[in-house]
Each structure stands twice: as C-alpha cells, then as structure tokens.
Amino acid sequence: MQRREFMKVAGMTVASAAVAPAYARGSSQGRVEKPNVIVIIADQRHYGLSKTTGYPVDTSPTLDRLQGKGIGFKHNYCTAPLCVPSRISMLTGRWPEAHRVRMNLNAKDAYFSQDLYQVAKQRGYRTALVGKNHTYMTKADADVWREYMHEGGYVAPNDAPEVVAFDKWIKTLHFNVAKEASPYPLSTQIPYRIVSESMKFIDETGDQPFLLQMSFPEPHDPEQVPAPYFDMFPPASIPNRCAGPEALKTMGSRAQWEYRLQQDNFPDTEVNWRRYVSNYLGALRMIDDQIARFTSYLEKKNLMNNTLVVFTADHGDYLVDYGLGRKGVGLYEDLTHTPQIWWGYGVKPSTSVEQAFTSMADLMPTMCEVMGAEIPHGVQGRSLWPLLQGQDYPREEFRSIYSGVGLGGLFYEDEDKIPTSISHDPARSGSWDELNKVTLSGNQKMVRMGNWKLNYDMMGSGQLYDLSHDPCEMVNLFNKPAHAQIQAQLMAELAMWSIRTQDSLPTGPQNGKYQTKWSKEHNWYAPYRHGGAPPNSYIP
C-alpha cells in the first residue's frame, strides 16, 4: 500500500477519534488550549560538546542556559545514524523498520498513519518548515515552506546579492572542510537566514497557534564558518580525540574501506583533523548565537509562556575519531548519541529524569499530547510530556533504548574489491559520499541500558562495552565469562525492542476487522509489562 493512500484512510479515522484537550485557555492550572510548538534540529550534531555535558570548550552557552531552565536528556539516541530515516522517525514516531525507510534514497516509501504536521493541521495549527527537510515532505505539506540544504537554499526577495554569492561559494567546498574563513558575512550564513525566516513566519501568524520546524543544516559538512567563529576555537586548543586511524584495525574491514574512500577523495581530512573539529565547534557556536537571537525575539513577543521548544539532532558525527570524518559505518556513540533539550511551556526543570533513555521517535507523541491530540495509530515512540511536567513516570519504561542501521544482506568485505576511487565531474572533484552500499551493508542493532551498550548483527557477531570505563568503545567484552550476566540481560532487552518495534499497521480501526490494543497512557508499555524491570543490581 502506498504512503499517500494509507494516509488518506488513516487520516479520516484518526481525525474522527481526536479528543479535546483536558485543559482550556486561562484555566487555573495556567494551561493554554493550544500551545505553540517549535522543533529546532541541528544536522549531524555530536552529543557532549557543551560545558553542561562536561566539554572543556564553551560552544553552546545559550543552550546550556536554556537547559538550566528546562530539561536535557543525557541518554537520547537517534533511531538510525543517518538523516532521512531518523528525520522520518521524528515526524512519524516510528522506527525505520516500521516506516520502511532505512537509507537516504527512498524517503517516498515512508509508511505511517499520520505524521506530526497532519496532526497539527487537524488541531488548527499553522505550520512551517524553515531549513533542512530531507524527508518525504513537500511544500504542499506545510503552510510555509522555506527549504535550505548544505549548499544554500531559499533566497528571500530582499536578500542582498552576497547571499547568492555565498550559495555559489559554498558549493566549491564539495562538502569538505574549509581551510580559511568564509569570505562572506554572518548574514549570508544559512542559520542566520533560517532564523530570519522563522521570525517572519511567527510575525505573519498572528494569534493562531503554530508548529514550526527550524532545521539547521549545520554543523554537517562542509565544515565552514565566517569570522569570528573560524578563530574562536583554534586548532591547537582542540582536545585530543579518542583515537586516530590506528584504531581502524579493530573496527573491521568496512570502517577501513570507508577511511580509504575518504583519504582517496579528500586526503586532507586526516591532515587537517584539528581544523575540521575547530570549524565544527565554530559552527556550534554560530548556531547557538542564532538560537540566542531567536529566543530573545520570542521573549520580546511574550511567547515563551505558551510555546514549547525542543532542540535535538538527527544523528551525530565521528568528528574524526578513529580517523573518520562525518558518519558512515556502525552504531558508535559518536553517531547515535544526540542531544534532546526541552524548555518553555509546561516544562519544570528537573534532574530526576535526566537519566531516562529517550529517542528521536519520542518527539512526535510528546507533541501530540501537548497539542491535545490523540497519538495516531502505529506510533511507537513514547510521550515524554509527564516527564517534562515533573510528574511520576514508570522508570522501567525508560530503562533502555534501541537503534539500528543497515540495508540487509551480507556485509561487503575486502574480497569484494569495491573501488574507493570515485569517478566524478571535475567540477565536483573531491566530493564523496560516506553513505553507500558498503557502509550500509548488512544489518546491525544496538541497545543501551545503564552504563552498558550491546551491538549485534545478522551474522551473530556482538560487541559489549562498559561505557563508564570505555567511552570510546575500544574494548569488546562480548562473550567474556565475567560479563555473561549483563550480556544475557542486554540480549533479552534487544530482543524486546526488536519485537516491540514490529509494525502494527494496517491493523486498527481503519482496517475494519482486527483492532490492535494500544496504551492510553502516553503510549507507554510499562503498565502492561508482566515481567517487571530487570534487577537494578545488574545495571551498574
């Protein structure tokens, strides 16, 4: 069944089942009937690069301040460490094996009942996408559409000619690290333009509630920034990385192949790894300053009391750990661990929920509940709204989280002799794509719980890491007798998540026969579990 056909049927069914919110504008609880919702996304944003998370360099003072007023989840993970599958999980609340998009090239195959924009429209919200899309959505799916990608985008009628010049210049980088500062001012940078268009959207919306997706293409490659950000974090001051290319010998043939691909097509990646990181951190600060500009605007408009805001990322970046730039092979923390920070309407600052394991898929059901809508059938994520409000929640529901990557089949290996020298247009010399049939071959799943992480693939090979002592995932403890108990527990947890994320569509009311039972409490499974949580003593 095609996506559009199913959406049409499901849309009628869910719309008829929608319920009114439990609170009204001006109620004694201080609630508003339809709070505004803003989703801020950074692309390829590595977790842990702020003072709040213990990083020695101050890249994100604004986000740190906002997290102090709200909640930042320390164990948030993407559903898959590449753009399109993860972004579709955010919109639909479904893991890639359910929405059926597991790579960046088949977004049109997305399968779901209703997405976030459709729910918002049914609730009377004005909607906008300003920034990077990279999903199945088109300009017909939002009231306002201002699309930008990594090499430029929407040019407003009143933009200066240098904006067009910047978009032309950035293409000359071929998605690689810039060795000099951008010759164009901050006002031409994509984050600045995105914030300007977002403020314009809000000004034009008036009193109507709105859903705004403000999606920065940065700090994704090409790693470039203007002054003063280019010199803000000098390469010589960059902290040491986990390991360099010498670690590749333990990472397998596909990681080694990806490194050769990178070096064959842009050999300066390893030579200039500190400049890569310097530019990346500069981009984080540039984004942070634009978030400061945006939040100052919201405060002046007196919108913060009735606006819920979340900042997150679609996936991470190797940041030249192990010699690898960008992303690609595997489920390393560099790629899967992402920020999720909430502030604004209804959020009560708390450290008691920081340790909960959360996912990109949790955003959609959370926003449904905030907007007063039922969570659509087929959503697999869990609403975080009670956690954000400081209410009690079952700890076992958020005791672990799950992610995966791969297109299936067997792993490509050295014996397959896949070339790393790429033939391309001379005008694009130096460009290369780390997401390809080699790096995405096979299938791997991951579960995180406590301080532990388990990876397992279709060949029965596993990796077990104690991240409290081995944050760089260098010492594989899988099948070590001393860790048999925790390994067995994590294998059971991985099996639970694999079963839980099986697709339930098209059963349900729209099917007319079998109606799947769904949790009415925030899409949580915990109240229905019979086995209970595993012994805490097994989860150091």
pLDDT digits (tens, 9 = 90+) for 405-445: 999 999 999 999 999 976 555 555 678 899 999 999 999 99
Q: What is the percent of the chain with per-residue pLDDT over 90, rounded to a whole number?
A: 84
Contact by Cβ (8 Å): 318, 335: yes
The strand pairing partners of 211, in sequence order, are 37, 127
Q: What is the percent of the chain with per-residue pLDDT over 70, rounded to a whole number?
A: 89
pLDDT band with cut points at 50, 70 and 90 for residue 510: low
Instruction: Specify the pLDDT at position 349.
Output: 94
pTM: 0.92
Instruction: Specify the pLDDT at position 154.
Output: 96
What does pLDDT average to over the chain? Answer: 90
Instruction: Specify the pLDDT at position 278.
Output: 98
Contact by Cβ (8 Å): 190, 239: no
CA distance linking residue 387 with residue 395, whole number of Å: 10
CA distance linking residue 337 with residue 74, whole number of Å: 9
Alpha helices in 206-314 (DSSP H): 253-265, 268-271, 273-300
pLDDT at 514 over 80: no
CA distance linking residue 63 with residue 71, whole number of Å: 11
Domain that holds residue 190: 3-17+34-417+427-522
pLDDT digits (tens, 9 = 90+) for 310-352: 999 999 999 999 999 999 999 999 999 999 999 999 999 988 8
Task: Look at the block and give the residue holding tokens 């960059």.
Answer: 238
530 domain residue, yes or no: no
151 domain residue, yes or no: yes
Q: How many CA atoms lie within 13 A of 183 on its CB side?
A: 9
486 domain residue, yes or no: yes
Instruction: Specify the pLDDT at position 532.
Output: 54
User: For position 251, which CATH number holds?
Assistant: 3.40.720.10
DSSP 517-534: ---SSTT--GGG-SS-PP
pLDDT band with cut points at 50, 70 and 90 for residue 11: very low
Domain count, the chain: 1
Q: Which of 14-23, 27-36, 292-301 has the highest mean pLDDT?
A: 292-301
Helix, strand, or coil (residue 389): coil
The strand pairing partners of 216, in sequence order, are 42
CA distance linking residue 231 with residue 209, whole number of Å: 41
292 domain residue, yes or no: yes
Instruction: Specify the pLDDT at position 516.
Output: 82
510 contacts: CB under 8 Å, gap ≥ 6: 9, 10, 12, 13, 113, 377
66 domain residue, yes or no: yes
Helix, strand, or coil (residue 278): helix
